[in-house]
Amino acid sequence: MTLVSVLSHLAGFLAPALGVGALLWAALRLRRKQRPGYGTALQLSMLWIAGIVVLLVGLVYFGRDGKIATYGALVLAQGTVAWWLRGR
């Protein structure tokens, strides 16, 4: 496997976590009600780390990538972090 192929597979694996996290962060910015003291980089990092951890746990648990249960857990985990960042 070449380096380009490895990077392509890694990008495809991480894309759902990064995409959902970016959409939730944008929704937080539109609502303009957030916890004070959390900058943009920290909010995005928290959402992305939560998503990447869920994807890795799903990969280890199921033994493969792309299970619907993993994507459901991804949305639940990142949604919970976004809800917490919103200030509830």
Read off the pLDDT of residues 57-66 as tens digits, 9 standing for 90 and up.
Answer: 999 999 998 8
Look up the domain containing 80 and give its range: 3-86
In the chain, DSSP finds a helix count (H) and a strand count (E) of: 3, 0
Read off the pLDDT of residues 32-67 as tens digits, 9 standing for 90 and up.
Answer: 665 566 788 999 999 999 999 999 999 999 999 889
- Counting the structural domains of the chain, the total is 1
Tokens 């976590």 sit on residue = 17
Structure confidence at residue 88 as a pLDDT band (50, 70, 90) = low
| Both structure tokens of 75 | 């949305």
The pTM of the full predicted model, rounded to 2 decimals, is: 0.87
Taking alpha carbons only, the member of 84, 78, 19, 85 closest to residue 50 is 78
